Amino acid sequence: MHRDNLSALQRVLEKIKCSYSIAFTPRCGSNHLCDLLTQAEIGQPTEFFQYDLSHWKVPGAEAAILKILQENTVNGIFGAKFAHDHCAWLQSVFGNIIGKKRLLADVLPNHRWIRLVRRDKIAQAMSLYRARVTQEWLRWQDNRKSNVDVPYDFSAIVACYQTVVTAELAWDVYFSEYGIEPLVIHYEELAECPHQTIAAIAAFLAVENWRSLDGAEANLRIQRDEITASLIGQFRQDLLEVGRLQGSAGCQLQ
């Protein structure tokens, strides 16, 4: 079975001229980046490799992965985005196919890493907290604003902050351990200068024929608003008051 899967993998990889992976953490703007790269025709990346691949309706993870690679290679380019644990999982599946441990760069042709980082970790944590409360993980331009109430919860927001920084730490260790130097893209610059950011990625990947985004409209809408700003303001103030207010409801660091 492994030999058949290995042969199938080799046939699929022969059609990929360039590949890249986006290392992301929760609420760092990765959906926006993937949307822009798709518009620019630099692959059509998204979060393909989660643990449950049953929606591909093929028997087994190995067959599902081959199908993903085959059906989402555009003009010889395959791109995907990864949470750190999904990266480890995919590498283990590749190891099962090939017969020994392999990094993504050892398997995917001409592979490069892009790391998307959000400088403002409090805003990132608040975005995660809000998404968990509302279950609204992205908003298209034609979507109406959510009317779900977002109550303030200091401890839950701290937990979201811990999730974000732990995920960043995991990527720090991964890149350091394997001596990988990714192209680092900051969310703030991506939001401010999308065309220039995509141009930098195209240059990094040595992709010459891509569609300019100069003047293009984003498909996704930024979700932060006055509610987010109010929650962030209250959270920052509570962090300043943690020692003085220790013992009062909602302002204790565990």
Which domains are present in the chain? 2-240 (3.40.50.300)
Q: What is the DSSP letter of 15?
A: T
Give this prediction's pTM: 0.87
**Residue 133 backbone dihedrals phi, psi, to 5 degrees:** -70, -45
pLDDT in tens, the chain (254 residues): 466 777 888 899 999 999 999 999 999 999 999 999 999 999 999 999 987 776 767 777 888 888 899 999 999 999 999 999 999 989 988 888 888 888 999 999 999 999 999 999 999 999 999 999 988 877 655 556 667 789 999 999 999 999 999 999 999 999 999 999 999 999 999 999 999 999 999 999 999 999 987 766 666 556 667 889 999 999 999 999 887 755 555 555 55
Please compute, for residue 228, the number of CA atoms within 13 A of its CA located in the half-sphere on the CB side.
17
pLDDT confidence of residue 146:
64
pLDDT confidence of residue 220:
57
pLDDT confidence of residue 247:
53
pLDDT confidence of residue 245:
53
**Residue 143 backbone dihedrals phi, psi, to 5 degrees:** -80, 145
pLDDT confidence of residue 97:
82
